[in-house]
Structure 1
Amino acid sequence: MTIEESVASDVLQVAREQVLDRGEPLSHGQILDVLRTPDDQLEELLALAHEVRMRFNGPEVEVEGIVSIKTGGCPEDCHFCSQSGQFSSPVRSVWLDIPELVRAARQTRETGASEFCIVAAVRGPDARLMAQMREGVAAIRAEVDIQVAASLGMLSQEQVDDLVDMGVHRYNHNLEAGRSFFPQVVTTHSFEERWETCLMVKESGMELCCGGLVGMGETLEQRAELAAQLGELAPHEVPLNFLNPRPGTPFGDLPVMDSRDALRTIAAFRLALPRTILRYAGGRELTLGDLGTRDGLLGGINAVIVGNYLTTLGRDPKEDLSLLAELEMPIKALSETF
Structure 2
Amino acid sequence: MTLTARPKTNRPRILETARKQVLEDGVGLTEDQLVQILQLPDDALPAALQLAHEVRLKHCGEDVEVEGIISIKTGGCPEDCHFCSQSGVFDSPVRGIWLDIPELVKAAKETAASGATEFCIVAAVRGPDVKLMNQIKFAIDRINEEVDINIACSLGMLTQRQVAQLKDWGVHRYNHNLETARSYFPQVVTTHTYEERLETCAMVKDAAMDLCCGALIGMGESLEQRAELAAQLAALEPHEVPLNFLNPRPGTPLENQGLMDGKDALRAIAAFRLAMPRTVLRYAGGRELTLGDLGTREGLLGGINAVIVGNYLTTLGRPATADLNLLVELNMPIKELQKTL
Q: TM class by shorter-chain length?
A: over 0.9
Q: Is the 8 A contact 2:172 2:340 kept in 1?
A: no
TM-score normalised to structure 2 length: 0.97
Equivalent residue for 1:157?
Answer: 160
- Read off the aligned partner of 2:32 and give its amino acid letter: G
Equivalent residue for 1:287?
Answer: 290
Equivalent residue for 1:332?
Answer: 335
1:62 aligns with 2:65: yes
- Read off the aligned partner of 1:308 and give its amino acid letter: N
Equivalent residue for 2:264?
Answer: 261
Equivalent residue for 2:224?
Answer: 221
Shift of 1:34: 0.4
Equivalent residue for 2:244?
Answer: 241
1:299 aligns with 2:310: no
Equivalent residue for 1:250?
Answer: 253
Identify the match of residue 123 of structure 1 among 122, 126, 137: 126
- Equivalent-residue separation in structure 2 for 1:200 and 1:141 (angstroms): 25
Shift of 1:258: 0.2
Deviations 1:132-169 (A, max 9, x none): 00000011111100000000000000000010011100
SS in 1 for 2:220: coil
- Equivalent-residue separation in structure 2 for 1:216 and 1:337 (angstroms): 36
- Equivalent-residue separation in structure 2 for 1:337 and 1:306 (angstroms): 21
Q: Which has the higher helix share?
A: 1
Runs of 4+ deviating beyond 4 Å? 3-7
Shift of 1:335: 1.5
Equivalent residue for 2:3?
Answer: none
Equivalent residue for 1:143?
Answer: 146
Equivalent residue for 1:29?
Answer: 32
Q: Is the 8 A contact 2:108 2:119 kept in 1?
A: yes
Shift of 1:58: 1.3
**Root-mean-square deviation (Å):** 1.2
Q: Which runs of 5+ in 2 are unaligned?
A: 1-5
SS in 2 for 1:334: coil
Shift of 1:19: 0.2
Equivalent residue for 1:191?
Answer: 194
Equivalent residue for 1:317?
Answer: 320
Shift of 1:4: 5.1
1:171 aligns with 2:171: no
SS in 2 for 1:162: helix
Equivalence map 1:1-150=2 (5 Å): 8-150=11-153
SS in 1 for 2:203: helix
- Equivalent-residue separation in structure 2 for 1:162 and 1:337 (angstroms): 16
Aligned length: 336
Shift of 1:5: 6.8
